[in-house]
Amino acid sequence: MADSTGTRGRLEPTLTRVSAAGQPLPRGQVRSATAAPHAGSAPAAGLSHAGATPERAAAGSTSVRQQHWSQRALSAVTGTLRSLGLARAGIALIAVAAVIAPLAIPRVNDAVIAGTTRTQTAALVVKERLGAPAASLLDQRNDPEARMVKVLMQVSAGELDSAAREVDALIADTPNFRLAHLVKGDLLLARARALRSIGTVGEVTPPGVRELEEEARARMRRYTEALPANALLPRYLLQLGAQQSHAIVVDTKRARLLVYAQAKGGALQLVDDYYVTIGKNGPVKNREGDQRTPVGVYEVTDDLDPARLTDFYGTGAFPINYPNAWDQRAKRSGSGIWLHGVPSDTYSRPPRASNGCVVLANSDLEALRAYVTPGVTPVVIADELEWAHPEQLAQERAELQSTLEQWRKDWESRDLELFGRHYHESFRADGRNLSSWLAARRNTVAAKQWVSVQIKNVSMFGYPGNDQLAVVSFDQDYQSNNYDNAAKKRQYWLREGGAWRIVYEGLDS
């Protein structure tokens, strides 16, 4: 069964409710944890910033208050992380600065913008770093990911009180979002000291915390490394078939799933995107059990009823047709690669945590369902997305369309010399090499007085990892004086020396 041996026991613990002193809290209140300080951030109100020089009496009083808050915060953090199974050899915490420090966002204390309030200045700093389009998108979205990113950006801009309120509200709405609990712990510690670095208290960072840190980075990248506007498209989307209203593209490097819609005239537009988890060992899948996610062009084959599944798969699953014909040609093994959800006690998993499947939050999987039609919806999985201008895609599409049309005409002509030139020397079919396959065809064609071949509902996809390979699928209507047949055909075309030739063809099941 797909992805059935995950590390659920370690990755999806139950949160223990504790007070700041480490004592149990009533239901509905959660204290959770993570780490230490970020350089240059402003201290919490009433606390002395490290490096300042207040009077001795004030400094002494502040030191006592810092110690008090530090003990309370560390107690809460330790209790929660212990309940999460993340406290190990002392206390090690995720650090917010490890996520936002690479952004080089100037702190409000460093920014001098006349005539603005602190909150307005923070907003300007965030807009400056993200750029207006990404900042506007962040303002528009209110999903847990966008809210988490807003919290991290508020911390980076020195708005710790606002960040604390936001993360409290996020935890109340999404209590199984473990990353939010860890960031909450950092903000507890911020009462005792400036957030100098989001990192560890001590020298050891447990693997579970490190994985959540990677999740935070992946979610931040959605906004700090904005997706290209519709002026650029994934180079794989050459042409969707008439029945394919949407296409799914997975960027394994960015831990992102993108949904493109086909408008009238074939124009494509990005309509949604989601954070995803992929295989523990990343791409590219080669054999059964390697815990890698495949790279290639696939198709959703089913929509599995969650009532047939264990809770591990969440609210459902969409199997894909791995291994496809190209995978089989490359002798790749394995099966059971699905797009599926997460257990009911989990909001999301780290970027690399599955056994090869593509995993989404349950709410995201439910949203994705509106775009999926089994047997129709394509799923392109890439190691790292490559982008192209629509004009470039149109040129490549025209070349393939012209070649495909000539192949159709040469088949109708019953001239095997013309027909055979469309096939690559490495072509194999029915256990035969190209020459023996064409010889068998010659005997069949000899019995035909006429042949008609019509094709429709054509789709074309560039192949990830090989910009000289394309997958072409279509509905084929074949008629002759003694035989008629209608079928769905799939071909893999390879470009060599500027010419496209078929390296594989077969009927879709």
More confident residue, 116 or 17: 116
CB 157 within 8 A of CB 105: yes
Classify residue 263 by burial, with Cβ atoms within 10 Å: 0-12, 13-18, 19+: exposed
Residue 31 token pair: 């204290």
CB 473 within 8 A of CB 241: yes
H-state helical runs in 375-509: 390-413, 416-420, 434-446
Residue 82 is which amino acid? R
- For the chain, give the percent of residues with pLDDT over 70: 70
Query: What is the reported pLDDT for 231?
Result: 84
Lowest mean pLDDT among 117-121, 409-413, 478-482, 490-494: 117-121
pTM above 0.95, yes or no: no
Query: What is the reported pLDDT for 89?
Result: 26
Residue 398 token pair: 């025209």
Q: Distance (Å, rounded) from C-alpha 32 to C-alpha 17?
A: 8
pLDDT at 211 over 60: yes
Query: What is the reported pLDDT for 8?
Result: 33
Could you tell me how many residues make up the chain?
Answer: 509
- What average pLDDT does the segment 375-396 reach? 96
Query: What is the reported pLDDT for 2?
Result: 60
Condensed to tens digits (0 to 9), the pLDDT of residues 272-311 reads 999 999 999 999 999 999 999 999 999 999 999 999 999 9
pLDDT at 188 over 50: yes
- What average pLDDT does the segment 344-356 reach? 96
pLDDT at 327 over 70: yes
Query: What is the reported pLDDT for 125?
Result: 52
35 falls in which pLDDT band (50, 70, 90)? very low
In the chain, where are the structural domains located? 16-224, 233-387, 390-507
CB 474 within 8 A of CB 458: yes
501 falls in which pLDDT band (50, 70, 90)? very high
Taking the C-alpha atoms of 190, 191, 194 and 195 in order, what is their torsion angle to the nearest 10 degrees? 0
How many CA atoms within 13 Å lie on the side-chain side of 383?
A: 10
349 falls in which pLDDT band (50, 70, 90)? very high
Q: If phi over 0 gives left and psi between -120 and 50 gives alpha, with beta otherwise, what is residue 477? A: beta
Name the percent of the chain in helix, strand, coil, to the closest 5: 35, 20, 40
Lowest mean pLDDT among 4-18, 108-122, 202-216, 319-333: 4-18
- What average pLDDT does the segment 57-81 reach? 42
- Angle, alpha carbons 200-72-98 (nearest 5°): 20
Name every residue whose Cβ is closer than 8 Å to that of residue 286 and which is 6 or more positions away in sequence: 292, 332, 333
Query: What is the reported pLDDT for 108?
Result: 38
Query: What is the reported pLDDT for 340?
Result: 98
pLDDT at 374 over 80: yes
Which of 179-188, 219-228, 242-251 is most confident? 242-251
The CATH class of 390-507 is alpha beta
Spatial CA neighbour of 257 closest among 385, 414, 433, 416: 385
- What average pLDDT does the segment 23-30 reach? 35
Condensed to tens digits (0 to 9), the pLDDT of residues 426-438 reads 998 878 899 999 9
- What average pLDDT does the segment 32-61 reach? 31
Query: What is the reported pLDDT for 11?
Result: 30
Judged by DSSP in three states, 258 sits in strand
Q: Distance (Å, rounded) from C-alpha 152 to C-alpha 169?
A: 14
Task: State in Å, rounded, how far the first CA of the chain is from the last one.
Answer: 21
Judged by DSSP in three states, 304 sits in strand
Helices 207-224 and 178-189: angle between axes, nearest 10 degrees: 100
Superfamily of domain 233-387: L,D-transpeptidase catalytic domain-like (2.40.440.10)
pLDDT at 96 over 60: no
pLDDT at 25 over 80: no
Query: What is the reported pLDDT for 425?
Result: 95
- Hunting for tokens 């208290």 — which residue is that? 201
Condensed to tens digits (0 to 9), the pLDDT of residues 453-498 reads 999 999 999 999 999 999 999 999 999 999 899 999 999 999 999 9
Query: What is the reported pLDDT for 102?
Result: 46
- For strand 358-359 and strand 338-340, is the pairing parallel, antiparallel, or unpaired? parallel
pLDDT at 17 over 60: no
Element spanning 348, H or E: none
Condensed to tens digits (0 to 9), the pLDDT of residues 123-157 reads 555 555 566 667 777 778 889 999 999 888 888 77
Query: What is the reported pLDDT for 191?
Result: 73
Q: Distance (Å, rounded) from C-alpha 66 to C-alpha 300?
A: 56
Average pLDDT value for the chain: 78
